[in-house]
Structure 1
């Protein structure tokens, strides 16, 4: 569509890909495919090859495109303001092509301030510390049809979901090449088969969206529509995504709609005003992270963010978004003292605009992309995070179980002698385990900022530290809910994670570390092969205590159930290094039982004290059941049994 404006120098032509319908949707917060309209794209205009640019900057008096094609001269290629009051500037520049490096030069109409900004909709950026956007097509011939057709079944909440959390820049590094990170294609070659060998069903990438500061781990985003150029092109990232899919592994992406940094080329004060963020720092500034909070009540910002969620599902075949820092979005007084925040219109602390945004985001992505999930990192007791919006919930698929994580790590850090006085810490989670669809996270947050590695937080001598870690993982995998483990946890890394170095892969040459690897692998395979662990993982029908009262011995025993009783598993956990011989438990079924796995096997680094052969019940009431079973509880051991 050609418009009637004339270019100042006849080099930028009046041209539009936007319809009046697009503008209406955008200005009312209902345009969820803005990435098809705004930004830069190679196109043809009246037989001329070039690039169409479109930018939202309502408080600008002039906008020009600068780049390597015009010597970064801001007086050559001015865009046209649309006549409809939308605040969008657009135009067509002939002769510009894919790979062109550019920015927008924006003049603020009130102050005359001149800013140079990257494109909020850029699909590709220069490698940091360079900050310009790059014209780039997003064409790709996908080969993951089989996965996409089956995803609804594989990625559903009644299927096993075991997640390996990865920071792409530090999983492995090329020490012989200036300690650089692996590229997307190198990760496809090494990371994909590694995750498959370990048996994880999914990976979760810490934010891959473009970010200027590597030390932010991706949580300070400037390029919301671009996978980081540090590791390759957008197509290289697509190749990594489909490589996982073709091995039957789903991919979740961390997404950060809660805040953004103040880098000069980013979203902050984009057109010389607080366009994407609130102007009042009591609403728009995040003190914890020195960053800025999106104005969720602004329709165009809402369109931007929901379009971004849709973008990763549509264009990159993401299987889920793990939404970062949801609590900071829900509460107006999050991490603020009295007088440092503004109540909502009812006088409350709830951020009503953010709540509406999250509900609409979830409704939109679930309606438009079959078989996906959204996961909330939400650390408070906000109700119904994972309930449908039509019931008043936020509409997420799962929520991180932060209370379980905090209580469990606190319990495991205690000397085993004193655990008898803290039995409630390890059992309390079951009082609320089914109020949400919980994912149990042992994430990157637990192995940074001086916390040490998981292994280093376990008490006792070397043997006990590793036995405790195996016990922790066994407890996590048998507890109701899905689970997540951050990279390095599977090898029992001794030191805490550092983003600028590789994991300590040399540790796998040692018996105990290799034992952790084998234990995690076997737990993943057990989880995938056991309907009792996943069919009712979010339902109280899938769990039953046998005994949680034996604090003196620091033992708990429970059942995990599927649709059929033959899928029931019996789990006994001894949280002390003292073996318990001929330990009696009540069971509902008479007959023979067998132990299918034990964390104390010698191949895991254990003492090889386990229950071999067939275990037979005897009559007698115990734990509310009419049959009893005697078994040996291994030291710091997890024993899982089933009826033969």
Structure 2
């Protein structure tokens, strides 16, 4: 049977798995029909948050929960001194749904409450599964649901969707640690103090971490307990809306980390044992527990779970105007063994029956739903197995993600810096490692994210400079380690973005070489916030080299945003000189030249180029970027050839050691 899907036509090696790929596509279509049952679209289906949870209607309050294993549920809280009473007993409806109706005057904005849930063998206090506001008592550390019904609704000032922009240039940020003070930062502080920085830097997309409520701050937001609740550590739902609204007003998209790959085990705060069954939202038996993350694994085969997760997607996009998501832990979702201890060296490993077919269906439906809600939304998969078709359109046989995180690139840089002498770096290997990707997908390149900054690891700037970063970052100081590290740091970040497969990501603070790791408050550090913050003053201090690195990143980002469509073009290699360690490639109309030689500069160095004249528009060696100013930025360069009308001509350049140069090609006017 000849291939019918574009994914297989693009990659003939997938022909042997045609039936499997088509089967997965058909399974998603069948599941969609099964879920809809009268609804017009997934958008109409994903309205669980409008039905379940607490709502104020024209007739009073209505509270609904799905708890099929429960035998009785009571509402307890400040309204009844946290005691069970028949007055606040739920009524069991069909399909395991429980319901309680109350007069409007019974509950008020700000009231605290929980559910008192009984089952055959026990009882416990629970937070509603669809709760939208959770707060923690700072003395008892107990979490409670909170009525969130402000007198006035939030008014969106920037209601128009952010249009489908050029390549996403993503600023990954954690609101809590975005303050210089040793504390938990707030949404409002981020809006006032950090948003202007991101806008000035030129990034067009903000990725917010840890937005969904999580009981342990140090989990970085990846052990979620309450999927519809904004983390109260950072402020209120209104505060988050104001942040997103202002970002939109600045022309920046806002996406959030979405953790649908697993759930925190906590029972009092989360879904771990909501109705006493232990497997209401999760698998039974051995598949219930994630062996590496100490968390619980969703059962994507249950329609109720799909309803919960798809409704969660619509909730954040509709209620908070989020422009998309970075889906966390996609590799863990795709495979029954969560992708642990697998090298994925064979295509068989993607189709050998060891995949979670229900999860694959869910991911396809999630991406389809996102595009129905907002066609310009972006979905990003944190996925490291290389699953074919992950970022290919669903009609083509893919799962519909817009981008895959190029997770191998940070690993490549770490290995290169740590294990290979600088004089042994091979420019051809560097270019291949950074530009290699599947044909059908777009990727997000990054030299480092929050992962590489966590305590126990090292950022790139720390690997290059080490402890000298504490004593020799003054612009007047002379230190070989610092000068080397800064030069390579700029080159690494520039070549990573210039060779990107579609987009670029930076974690906050890395743009200026933030000097310290991330270590959230914990018992081992005496609950200190010293390393869970960002020292913005370093980038603002004109006497320090951090300011120079910040200047370079700003120039680099704005250059890419203004001159290149990363998601519409590919890098075109024109020179890989291993002897001199010079690499040159085109990206759209820009010529990138890198000299990775640690000691030798190249004079009158000839590079084969397209005919025309060239203007230097960025030099990593410029003094304003902490370089030595060895290249004249005012000079124009003209290609030349030994015979007329040649398609390939030569450009003669001075390329200093440890330097990157970017030229803009200006086509010569024809003389008639």
TM-score relative to the length of structure 1: 0.86
In the other structure, the counterpart of 2:328 is 324
Query: What do the CA deviations read for 1:453-488 (whole angstroms, capped 9, x no partner)?
Result: 220112671111111111111112211321000011
The answer to whether 1:36 aligns with 2:50 is yes
CA change 1:173–1:604 in 2 (3 A) is closer
- CA positional deviation for 1:82: 4.1
CA change 1:296–1:433 in 2 (3 A) is closer
In the other structure, the counterpart of 1:105 is 116
Task: Supply the distance in 2 between the matched residues of 1:502 and 1:203 (Cα, whole angstroms).
Answer: 18
Task: Supply the distance in 2 between the matched residues of 1:71 and 1:133 (Cα, whole angstroms).
Answer: 15
Q: 1:367 aligns with which of 372, 397, 416?
A: 372
Task: Supply the distance in 2 between the matched residues of 1:248 and 1:323 (Cα, whole angstroms).
Answer: 23
CA change 1:30–1:360 in 2 (3 A) is farther
Q: 2:77 aligns with which of 62, 67, 70?
A: 67
Is contact 1:29-1:299 (8 Å) kept?
A: no
Secondary structure class of the residue paired with 2:233: helix
CA change 1:83–1:489 in 2 (3 A) is closer
In the other structure, the counterpart of 2:171 is 164
Task: Supply the distance in 2 between the matched residues of 1:125 and 1:547 (Cα, whole angstroms).
Answer: 57
Show the 5 A alignment for 1:341-420: 348-413=353-418, 417-420=422-425
CA RMSD of aligned residues (A): 2.6
CA change 1:82–1:390 in 2 (3 A) is farther
Task: Supply the distance in 2 between the matched residues of 1:554 and 1:435 (Cα, whole angstroms).
Answer: 31
In the other structure, the counterpart of 2:101 is 92
Task: Supply the distance in 2 between the matched residues of 1:350 and 1:252 (Cα, whole angstroms).
Answer: 28
Q: 2:287 aligns with which of 269, 283, 293?
A: 283
Q: Which runs of 5+ in 2 are unaligned?
A: 1-34, 343-348, 466-479, 521-528, 667-672
In the other structure, the counterpart of 1:17 is none
Q: Which has the higher contact order (CA 8 A, sep 6+)?
A: 2
The answer to whether 1:503 aligns with 2:508 is no
Is contact 1:411-1:425 (8 Å) kept?
A: no
- CA positional deviation for 1:639: 0.6
The answer to whether 1:626 aligns with 2:630 is no
Show the 5 A alignment for 1:206-225: 206-225=209-228
The answer to whether 1:450 aligns with 2:450 is no
Task: Supply the distance in 2 between the matched residues of 1:393 and 1:491 (Cα, whole angstroms).
Answer: 38
Is contact 1:375-1:397 (8 Å) kept?
A: yes
The answer to whether 1:603 aligns with 2:624 is yes
CA change 1:29–1:523 in 2 (3 A) is closer
Is contact 1:227-1:234 (8 Å) kept?
A: yes
Task: Supply the distance in 1 between the matched residues of 2:210 and 2:69 (Cα, whole angstroms).
Answer: 31
TM-score relative to the length of structure 2: 0.82
CA change 1:632–1:364 in 2 (3 A) is same
Q: Which moved more, 1:595-604 or 1:473-482?
A: 473-482
Is contact 1:122-1:223 (8 Å) kept?
A: yes
Task: Supply the distance in 1 between the matched residues of 2:449 and 2:507 (Cα, whole angstroms).
Answer: 5
Task: Supply the distance in 2 between the matched residues of 1:433 and 1:635 (Cα, whole angstroms).
Answer: 33
Task: Supply the distance in 2 between the matched residues of 1:425 and 1:402 (Cα, whole angstroms).
Answer: 15
Query: What do the CA deviations read for 1:546-573 (whole angstroms, capped 9, x no partner)?
Result: 013x122222110012xxxxxx110011
- CA positional deviation for 1:278: 3.4
Show the 5 A alignment for 1:160-239: 160-174=167-181, 179-239=182-242
Task: Supply the distance in 1 between the matched residues of 2:511 and 2:438 (Cα, whole angstroms).
Answer: 25
- CA positional deviation for 1:170: 0.7
In the other structure, the counterpart of 1:5 is none
Q: Which moved more, 1:426-435 or 1:93-102?
A: 426-435
Is contact 1:210-1:229 (8 Å) kept?
A: yes
CA change 1:390–1:204 in 2 (3 A) is same
Secondary structure class of the residue paired with 2:494: helix
Is contact 1:306-1:361 (8 Å) kept?
A: yes
CA change 1:43–1:417 in 2 (3 A) is closer
Task: Supply the distance in 1 between the matched residues of 2:437 and 2:67 (Cα, whole angstroms).
Answer: 47
